[in-house]
Structure 1
Amino acid sequence: MKPASRIRLLDAEAHAGDVSASTLILPNDADPLAYAIEIAAASRLELQFPSFTDGRAYSQAYLIRRRLGFEGDLRATGEVLVDQLLQMERTGFSSAVLSADVSMADALRQLERFPAFYQGDALREAPWRGSALE
């Protein structure tokens, strides 16, 4: 497994300007395994959070990274809140579009809150074997 990098944060304007020829948008009730061929052909997948209480996109992201081996940009859209960013990152999202009322500075501060985890996730093997300096 490759080393994980931090989730890329975008505002609505940056997201609108980030045009990709092969973007697939999956609704949060879609079964990613049923779209395996389309996912393999895409360079970016967008998974939707219609409300902060609907977490089905976390499961989709994990399946897409672990079972389907997708290595492209996996983007969270919709109602993306600061306190969800670490979980999004750990389940496989590589980018997220922040809601209009979310401060970029607050989001970046949230990502620095926990520098490491003992448990594995979609991008890191378990158990964590890094040094205290990593």
Structure 2
Amino acid sequence: MAQLIKQGQLVSNDEWHLIEDDAIIADYGIISLKRWQENAAALLPLAQAGKIGLLLNSDETADQIGDDCRQFVLIAVNFPKFSDGRGYSTARLLRERHGFKGELRSVGDVLIDQLFFMNRCGFNSFALRDDQDLNDALAAFATFTVSYQNDVNDPRPLFRRR
């Protein structure tokens, strides 16, 4: 089981779990985009009740879910390998273009080196790879004290923050 940081805090017990496409949907299950697209009408009440989340793989874009993202309380974005950065764009688009306000969780090959930048793109929950040190992970959010560019958390560039 992955180690979880949520809103800057360690979480030891998390109810959310991935559900395979052929499995029965249970509360706090995270379903695939394909399953959502094929059964959206039937699954909509569960999503609105906060009982299911959505998984976006790296080859699936934010535009494929679009404004339906607002139906979910949790969207997990998969990073299949460290060098695959498509999830950063997905996160930013979900937050800025589609107005997603819920929990945005990075899953997969999530390393400490990525946390500061994932946070800037809109992730607020991080399922770390099991070999990552949690104390180092929490410290990673303070890697830099100032960023020149804007981000999801503060849309003003540095010169506007003075």
- What range describes the TM-score normalised by the shorter chain of this pair? 0.7 to 0.9
Structure whose alpha-carbon radius of gyration is higher: 2
Task: Tell me the distance in 2 between the aligned counterparts of 1:7 and 1:84.
Answer: 16
**More strand by proportion, 1 or 2?**
2
Q: CA deviation at 1:59?
A: 0.7
Q: CA deviation at 1:124?
A: 1.0
Say yes or no: does 1:53 pair with 2:83: yes
One of 121, 132, 149 as aligned partner of 1:102 = 132
- 1:26 maps to 56
Unmatched segments (≥5 aa) in structure 2:
1-5, 17-27, 29-49
- 2:93 maps to 63
One of 124, 144, 150 as aligned partner of 1:114 = 144
Unmatched segments (≥5 aa) in structure 1:
1-5
Higher RCO (Cα < 8 Å, 6 or more apart): 1
- Cα gap change, 1:96 to 1:10, in 2 (>3 Å): farther
Segments of 4+ moved more than 4 angstroms: none
Contact 1:24 1:38 in 2 (8 A): no
Residues paired across the two proteins, number: 124
Q: Which moved more, 1:34-43 or 1:82-91?
A: 34-43
Percent identity between matched residues is 35
- 2:65 maps to 35
Q: CA deviation at 1:37?
A: 4.2
Q: Note the aligned Cα RMSD (angstroms).
A: 2.1
